[in-house]
């Protein structure tokens, strides 16, 4: 081949290669853009353009709350198995979507919108927070919509507090952060024919006495070192009990501490998470803001 012909051949080959690469890139982009909307990843956040498809869910970072897109077409926010909020939609193949305009929607398999939030904000994200609130945030971090399911924030309360820091509500001495929820819970239980009684706050001195009684006697090891699970019944080390900060309640009835077959426990199991109180599984009578 002559030098001039060789140069032309190389140039034409390069052009053909570049054109083929561009065609492949464009074709791939078109296919990607025409494919299904991006599914939600794991975590607590749904971003604009993402879906929660059947079986998908968001979970709060602390793991206590989850938003599930159910097989029956309903999107439900759960706390410890109790529904806090729902879209009340039905239909196989439904999906929950955060649109690029910041609106939360439930769409059928054919794309029909059967539920929508009132939000509208560009570059948004839907976040399931550790307080159980589902919030649409705009790019400027402003809240554009919320499910209004926020639980009381007691996370920054000191572990051991004096009696003077407590308030009395509905027969329980509790920390102010949880008092409104306790008052509503006791009222609502009463309206259902269930009387909730018991005790809540206790001093660190009382906790020490319980450790002596439940953990084997008055020794440094028994009071301050032995794991709570090794006591009978399990008893937290002084300074670590949720009772000492007024964030835990122990419920009783005429037979003593309530048991799993009691009316009180059945009502609490079905309703207490709505008020931000969770059961410590080993103790049917013990409910707190953290579940421990």
Residue 183 sits in the same domain as residue 282: yes
**For each of the chain's 292 residues, which pLDDT tens digit applies?**
434 444 444 445 455 444 444 344 433 433 333 334 444 556 999 999 999 999 999 999 988 899 999 999 999 999 988 999 999 999 999 999 999 888 999 999 999 999 999 877 778 899 999 989 999 998 776 888 999 998 878 888 888 999 999 999 999 999 999 999 999 999 999 999 999 999 999 999 999 999 999 999 999 999 999 999 999 988 999 999 999 999 999 999 998 999 999 999 999 999 999 999 999 988 999 999 988 8
Residue 270 sits in the same domain as residue 188: yes
Q: Which CATH number covers residue 99?
A: 2.90.10.10
Residue 79 sits in the same domain as residue 188: no
Quick count: other Cβ atoms within 10 Å of Cβ 123?
13
Instruction: Say whether pTM exceeds 0.85.
Output: no
Length of the chain: 292
What is the domain range of residue 198? 163-202+241-288
- Evaluate whether 160 touches 204 at the Cβ level (below 8 Å): yes
Residue 189 placed within a domain? yes
Q: Which CATH number covers residue 169?
A: 3.30.1380.10
Residue 1 placed within a domain? no
183 φψ region: left (φ > 0), alpha (ψ -120 to 50), beta (else): alpha
**End-to-end Cα separation, the chain, in angstroms:** 85
Q: Please count the structural domains in the chain.
A: 2
Residue 177 placed within a domain? yes
């Amino acid at each position: 081949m002559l030098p001039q012909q060789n140069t032309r051949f190389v140039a034409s080959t390069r052009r053909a290669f570049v054109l083929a690469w561009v065609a492949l890139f464009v074709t791939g982009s078109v296919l990607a853009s025409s494919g299904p909307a991006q599914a939600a990843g794991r975590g607590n956040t749904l971003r604009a353009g993402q879906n929660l498809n059947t079986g998908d869910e968001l979970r709060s970072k602390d793991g206590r709350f989850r938003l599930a897109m159910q097989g029956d077409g309903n999107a439900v926010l759960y706390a410890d198995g109790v529904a806090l909020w729902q879209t009340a939609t039905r239909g196989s193949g439904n999906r929950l979507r955060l649109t690029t305009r910041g609106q939360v929607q439930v769409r059928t398999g054919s794309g029909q919108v059967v539920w929508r939030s009132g939000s509208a904000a560009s570059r948004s994200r839907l976040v399931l927070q550790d307080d159980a609130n589902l919030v649409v945030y705009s790019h400027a971090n402003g809240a554009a919509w919320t499910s209004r399911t926020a639980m009381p924030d007691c996370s920054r309360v000191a572990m051991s507090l004096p009696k003077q820091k407590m308030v009395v509500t509905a027969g329980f001495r509790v920390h102010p952060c949880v008092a409104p929820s306790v008052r509503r819970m006791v009222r609502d239980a009463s309206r259902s024919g269930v009387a909730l009684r018991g005790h809540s706050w206790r001093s660190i001195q009382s906790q020490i006495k319980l450790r002596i009684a439940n953990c084997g006697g008055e020794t440094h090891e028994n009071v301050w070192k032995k794991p709570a699970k090794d006591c009978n019944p399990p008893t937290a080390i002084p300074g670590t009990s949720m009772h000492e900060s007024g964030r835990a309640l122990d419920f009783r009835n005429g037979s003593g501490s309530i048991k799993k077959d009691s009316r009180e426990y059945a009502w609490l199991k079905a309703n207490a998470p709505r008020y931000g109180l969770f059961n410590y599984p080993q103790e049917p009578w013990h409910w707190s803001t953290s579940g421990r």
